[in-house]
Amino acid sequence: MKVLIFGDLFGRIWRNALIKEISSLKEKYKPDFVVVNGENMTSGRGPIEKHMNLVHDIWVDLFTSGDHCFDNEKNLLPYLESEDCKMIRPANFYESEYYQLPWEGYRIIEKNWKKLLVINLLSETFTRDHVYNPFLKADEILKSINKKIIEGNIKLNWVIIDFHKEVASEWYWMQEFLDWRVSFIFGTHTHIQTNDDNISEWWTWLLSDVGMVWAQKSIIGSDFGSLKKRFLTGIQKWKIEQSLDKNYIMNWVLVEIDDETMRCISIEKIKKLWNLDNY
């Protein structure tokens, strides 16, 4: 089974880039599932409903998210509560009997008689929000799913995790901690595709960042000119604009996992430069 994974889609450019490319990429790679981190989909912030609705036309199976997931909560709420919702949020925000958040932190998606569990987690380190320990949360989710498998209530073919975070040490320890329980752990949020794909002692694979889809002449999608005064004066009050450069960089990863053993067989990292004028 193959999964095509994209990291953070930034702002306006992703809508042009992914919508134009997804059909040919699906034709070329023939993935069973397409999973995309969508937390920067609306001007670098969490998506609005209008942008999520575009998703249904471009055949993405599931969107993961991160620290920006509640940025446009009010606008997005009707979508989140609808049956069409294709987005999960980090599973390790605090919830209690006193306050429950909308939205799921993990989901099993199914296609062609194959089932994939996708878990989304957020780091505690250098992120704005205070979250429950992501290692313990992953352990709790996997144990509860395992219980359902043993009871015969569900079947699974694979497990992958989007661990949204800043610090590489947490990724690596997550791999060590969840070794043999998860097929593939990938990172998002640091935006640059890394070359540290690594298989653990038992078989869990890791890539600490799958990279993002962004305008080439930009700083993670932000226009150089609008950042000029910030960098040269140190004053941070000036508004950051999106880059509208028509050259853009798409990063993605194709992961192949054995259907029987849940082990990763291969991982292919791709970085491509495209130009919107070619269409």
| Torsion from C-alpha of 40, 167, 91, 7, nearest 10 degrees | 40
* Distance (Å, whole) CA 205 – CA 199: 4
3-class SS shares of the chain: helix, strand, coil, % to 5:
25, 30, 45
CB atoms within 10 A of CB 171: 25
Nearer to Fe ion, 31 or 38 (CB): 38
The conformational region for residue 262 under phi > 0 = left, psi -120 to 50 = alpha, else beta, is left
Minimum Å distance from CB 8 to Fe ion?
7
**d(Cα 213, Cα 251) in Å, to the nearest integer?**
6
| Three-point CA angle 50, 163, 134, nearest 5° | 115
Residue 20 — φ and ψ, nearest 5°?
-75, -30
Smallest gap from residue 128 Cβ to Fe ion (A): 9
Of 67 and 71, which has the nearer Cβ to Fe ion? 67
Closest CA to 120 of 204, 35, 190: 35
Dist. CA 38–CA 13, nearest whole Å: 13
The nearer residue to Fe ion, 38 or 66, going by C-beta atoms, is 66
As beta bridge partners, residue 120 has: 162
CB of 263 to Fe ion, least distance (A): 29
User: What six digits make up the tokens of 6?
Assistant: 């994209």
Nearer to Fe ion among residue 21 and residue 162 (C-beta)? 162
Please identify, using beta-carbon distances, which residue of 69 and 159 lies nearer to Fe ion. Answer: 69
Smallest gap from residue 38 Cβ to Fe ion (A): 11
Nearest to 130 by CA among 90, 161, 77: 90
Nearer to Fe ion, 120 or 183 (CB): 120
Structure-token pair, residue 168 = 């590489």
User: What is the closest distance, in whole angstroms, from the C-beta atom of residue 67 to Fe ion in the complex?
Assistant: 4
**Contact set with Fe ion (CB under 5 A):** 66-67, 189
Cβ closest to Fe ion, residue 157 vs residue 193: 193
Who's near 198: CB < 8 A, 6+ residues apart? 175, 205, 206, 207
